[in-house]
Amino acid sequence: MTVRDRLSRLRLPAFAAPMFLVSGPDLVVACSRAGIVGSFPAPNLRSSAELGDWMGRIAGQLTADDAPWALNLVTHSTSPRLPRDLEQVAEHQPPIVITALGSPKPVLPTVQAYGGLVFADVISVDLAKKAADAGVDGLVLVCTGAGGHTGDLSPLVFVERVRRFFDGYIALAGAITTGEAILAAQVLGADFGYLGTAFIPARESMASDAYKQMCVDSSAGDLMVTRAFTGARASMLKPSMVARGLDPAELEFKVARMNFTGRQDETVKPWSGIWGAGQGVGKIDRVESAAEIVDRLAAEYDAARLRTRGLCA
Ligand SMILES: Cc1cc2nc3c(=O)[nH]c(=O)nc-3n(C[C@H](O)[C@H](O)[C@H](O)COP(=O)(O)O)c2cc1C
């Protein structure tokens, strides 16, 4: 069965999005067993060898009956690990590779050679066009309200503009935390909802208990979008800044230099303990298993489909 066949049989048209320091093998396996695409980012590992270990663990626990899983690679020009990570990719063959913060070009030959699919994570129509021209199989359109590195386009605009030139897969990201929102993404012309924040409080996530509880206790008003931590616009929880003794008001307009070399830039404040989330955070009211989250999303999705049938009559 091809990866495309497996994507057409998902229980729910959704990805659990890759999240730095949050998604690891347990979450990937739990999501894929629950019937949605599970994923994790390579920078969660310090070396390419460890990345290979994680991919081996995941591949060893999943079967062709489970949903396909995805690896997220940072292709930014300052990321020195990419060639060695790609060797591991060729060996372990993740069904889907999602590129972020750089061009998908260096990844395409390796992944498409073994029948894998490449999705590029983009925040603008220009970047979407470049990735489409490079030959990606799918695009992740990151819109306003998304957690972590966020976008500023409305999904109402972004999908329509990209569908004018791209007929591959589209996964839509940004504050999607309900089954209704997944259905809305499909109505707009996307194929999948791409959900990060909704899975931070999953029992299988690597987020600390304090981080999970902060998600339960927070709502959209507790977020700030700032370039102070990574150099790119990121949606972060203000209470986590306050807990580290930082003043959110002072950080709002600071800009860090983007750096994926693995070396700490002396001019950048250490940002461990500063936690990201998107505007859907207000929907989170408990810590539960990934399977329970997917069950709830699937029930909401099915109910929304039934409820809206009349609109199309
Ligand atoms: C805490 C956190 C960490 C993230 N880390 C990454 C990452 O390492 N790589 C990546 O491509 N996207 C990352 N993202 C973005 C997600 O993959 C996804 O685009 C986003 O969470 C979708 O918006 P939502 O959180 O509103 O659902 C992160 C998001 C969050 C909340």
**Average pLDDT, integer, range 28-53:** 97
User: Where along the chain do its domains lie?
Assistant: 3-206+292-312, 209-279
Residue 121 alpha carbon, nearest atom of ligand 1 = 11
Dist. CA 20 → ligand 1 center (Å): 7
Q: How far apart are CA 21 and CA 183, in angstroms?
A: 29
Residues paired with residue 195 on neighbouring β-strands, in sequence order: 16
Half-sphere exposure (Cβ direction) of 128: Cα atoms closer than 13 Å: 26
% of the chain exceeding 70 in pLDDT: 95
**Average pLDDT, integer, range 300-308:** 96
Lowest mean pLDDT among 93-102, 146-155, 244-253: 244-253
By most ligand atoms within 8 Å of CB, the mutation choice from 28, 45, 79, 149 for ligand 1 is 149
pLDDT of residue 24: 98
Residue with tokens 């695009």: 139
Lowest mean pLDDT among 97-106, 233-242, 252-261, 282-291: 252-261
**Average pLDDT, integer, range 213-236:** 94
- pLDDT digits 0-9 by tens, 183-207: 999 999 999 999 999 999 999 999 9
The residue contributing the CA closest to ligand 1 atom 8 is 20
Q: Which amino acid is at 84?
A: R
**Average pLDDT, integer, range 97-112:** 96
Residues paired with residue 72 on neighbouring β-strands, in sequence order: 41, 98
DSSP code string of 198-237: GGTTBTTS-S-HHHHHHHHH--GGGEEEEBTTTSS-EEEE
Residue 176 alpha carbon, nearest atom of ligand 1 = 27
**Average pLDDT, integer, range 107-114:** 97
Residue partners of 149: CB distance under 8 A and separation at least 6: 100, 101, 123, 142, 230, 232, 233, 234
pTM above threshold 0.85: yes
Q: Which amino acid is at 229?
A: F
- The CA-atom distances, in angstroms, between 38 and each of 96, 164, 298 are 10, 29, 15
Which CATH architecture is the domain 3-206+292-312 placed in? Alpha-Beta Barrel (3.20)
- pLDDT digits 0-9 by tens, 225-281: 999 888 889 999 999 999 999 999 888 778 877 666 555 444 444 467 899 999 999
Dist. CA 149 → ligand 1 center (Å): 6
% of the chain exceeding 90 in pLDDT: 87
